[in-house]
Every structure is written in C-alpha cells, then in structure tokens.
Amino acid sequence: MNPGSRTPDSLASWLAWMETLHPRVIDLGLDRVREVAVRMGLERLPFPVVTVAGTNGKGSTVAMLEAILHEAGYRVGAYTSPHLLDYNERVRTARIAASDAELCSAFERVEAQRGRTKLTYFEFGTLAAAELLRSQHVDIAVLEVGLGGRLDAVNLWDADVAVISSIGIDHTDWLGPDRESIGREKAGIFRAGQPAVCGDPAPPTTIEERAAAIGADLRLVGRDFGFERGATGWTWRCPNCGTGRMRAALPYPAMRGDYQLYNASSVLMALELLAPRFTASQADVRAGLQEAVLPGRFQTLSGVPVRVLDVAHNAQAARSLAATLATQKVTGKTLAVVGMLKDKPMADVLAEASAVVDAWHLATLDTPRGASAEQLHAALSAAGIGTPATLHPDVAAAYSEALRQAGPADRIVVFGSFHTVGAILRAVPSMHGLNGS
C-alpha cells in the first residue's frame, strides 16, 4: 500500500480500490505490468501456458480446453474475463473458482511489489491471477486475453500454444477499424517457433502475415484441420498431424451454437500441439466437451416461456445468436430484452438480431459505460428497424415486462452485454439452473 492508505479488508473493498489505481479503465501496454511482474518473480511462469484471443468464443474455448485437460487428470488453471456474477469466476484451479481469501492474498502480494506503478484494474487482476495459479502449483494454465492481444497484460507471458478463436469488429478505438487491423493485434500473442491455432474460417491476411514474419507454426481451420457434422455427432480431422489424425463419433459441445464446433476444433488442434507433454484420450475429449458449460452462452432456462440468455455484444456474436435462435423451434413471438454499453456498435448489433425479433424491450444499463434505453432506441431507428420497442429504466424492469407480455408459446431472449445477463441472474436466483448452454 502507498503510505497512509489502509489495506482493503475484503474482496469487495479490494476490487473497489483497484479501480482507483489508474485514471483510465483501459490503457493498453506491457511496460507497467512487466515492471511489477519482474519484482514479483513472475516474468516467467513455472508452467506451460495456452493463450486464447479472439473477438468471440474465447471463454468457450478456454472452458472446453480446461475441461478436457481436467478430465485427463491434469491440474489446470484458468483465467478469464469478464465475470457474470462474481469476480471469483475469473480464476479457477481444477475447475473450482478461487475463494475470496485466495484472491485477497494474491492481491496483497501484488500490492507489496507494486510500488508507485499505476496498474489498471485488469493489469492488477492479471498479475494476481498468475500469482494465485503459481501458488496452486498447476500443471498448465489456459489464459484468456482481455482485449486485443499484442498489448494485453496476458501477453506478458509467452504462449506454448496460442489460439485465436475468431476475428470480428469490436473495440475499434483500441484495435483498429477493420478485421485486418484487429487480426494483426490478436496475432500479437504468437511467438517465434511456437505453435499457433486460428479457428476463424475466413481469417484476415494479417494472421498469416504475422505468423510468417516471426516464424510461428500456424494451423488454420479449413486448411490444416477441420470437422465434419453428423446426425448424432461430429468428426475432427487433421490430415497433416503425423500420419493423419482423426477423432470420430464426438458428442456436440454442451454449449449451443454452430460456431462452437469451430471453437471445439481449435481446442482439439491445440491438444495435438501440446502432445506429448499433455495427452487426452477419446473418453477425456468426449467428457470434456459435454462438461464445458458457461452461463450466458445461449443459456436456455427450463420452463415456459422459452428464455435464452446470451452475452452477445458485437455484430459477429449477434449474427451467430440470431442463427442459433432460428434453429430453435418456437411457434410464438420472440421478445428481446437488450442492454448494451454505449461504446459498442449498437445499431449493427440490433440489425443483426432483428430478423428473429418481434418486439424489443430496451433497458438502461446502470454502469458508467452503459447506454440508456433512449440511446438504444435511437440505434434501432438508425438501423432502420421498425419493430415495436418499449423503453425501461433497467434490465430487471425490461425483463419483468417481457415476462408479463409473453405467452407460453413465446420466447424471450436477453442479450447485449455481460452486464445485461448478469443483472438477470442476480435478480432471479432461480435462473441459475441452466439447460443446454
């Protein structure tokens, strides 16, 4: 602690205090986090690392790889962000979320070496996660990039295998205006001579250019590995893996959405690249695919009306959400409950989802970055969407009204932000039971 300051005495007070350390919420760069990591002896981690970047699908990719390696008997650490309900979700060992006491202890160790370095909330939390996983003596860690790749705090550590799940348009103020620019930033997690995987079926050219420039061993879906769908399962193939590698009769991932096969295929490619240090049997893979579940990823709640929760918050994710909703058999109307951050491409997101929405319930998000219901309504108009819309002061009010209006044959879909889905999960504890997310 700086002189005169009081040590936080709870996880909540630590998190509130961490937000005060840096004048900006986002300040990309590795210099600050490297300074403190060196003081902590964390500039190199004592376990192999798989780093996962991507516009969408990062959390799902981490969860599937984590679950499969866990089933194979390894002690796996995972670091993800953001969280839906509790900060503890961000750091896991053996698929168990860190306790308040473990997190506070790790925060104390970061603060003891921070000095006058002004770390952002994410940088402080990332160092604490690395320290906690080191103290847990994990066999391997799967780390999710927070934003971009090249200048993200997670990229402080060299990836033994780097994975990019997808490249879409998001965070343009920091990553650039197009997929080529964004792809270049995400490919910053590649390392010379080390394997890399990209599960985007149409990656920007900057992905291959970056790999070639530094000599990374890049594997692309559709070129070096791929998958085939079947009526009851799917097959993964890697023709150039030794004499040819195949995993057949795999169960579809528990997490819904056709795009999850691209994430799952990338996970299996990463597993091949981790061998022989880490191996997983067919039974491990099958179990892991079925056990890996994340709230808020096409989370379908039991009962009527059908209720779907999804954290989709950019155009690419909204397009995938709409495609998955289109495959879900619903005879009635679809009512959308939407809350978004104002720095997101609201009109683009709403336009992508509009084909499957019959009525909108627009909610103000109660967070400094949150958009108002009025701003969302303006985005609907800008997108040329004339579907009826009702404005609400918060997510809970929007959801309650959607429930009141919905008949048993209708569907409610809640999306637009982690904050939006999290607000519903907090307001209605009974929703924690999920089905097919």
- Give the residue among 222, 51, 59, 203 at the shortest CA–CA distance from 140: 51
| C-alpha span between 285 and 248 (Å, rounded) | 11
**Widest distance between CA atoms in the chain:** 65
Please give the chain's pLDDT, 437 residues, in tens: 443 456 798 999 999 999 999 988 888 899 999 999 999 999 999 999 999 999 999 999 999 999 999 999 999 999 999 999 999 999 999 999 999 999 999 999 999 999 999 999 999 999 999 999 999 999 999 999 999 999 999 999 999 999 999 998 877 777 888 999 999 999 999 999 999 999 999 999 999 999 999 999 999 999 999 999 999 999 999 998 876 799 999 999 999 888 999 999 999 999 999 999 999 999 999 999 999 999 999 999 888 999 999 999 999 999 999 999 999 999 999 999 999 999 999 999 999 999 999 999 999 999 889 999 999 999 999 999 999 999 999 999 999 999 999 999 999 999 999 999 999 988 765 443 333 33
- Cα dihedral 330, 335, 341, 344 sign: positive
Domains belonging to the chain, first-starting first, are 11-291 (3.40.1190.10), 299-432 (3.90.190.20)
| C-alpha span between 363 and 375 (Å, rounded) | 10
Check: CB of residue 396 under 8 Å from CB of residue 365.
Answer: no
- Give the residue among 22, 405, 308, 345 at the shortest CA–CA distance from 173: 345
Model pTM?
0.92
| C-alpha span between 156 and 37 (Å, rounded) | 9
Check: CB of residue 295 under 8 Å from CB of residue 426.
Answer: no
Give 225's DSSP letter.
B
**Containing H/E element for 198?**
strand 195-198
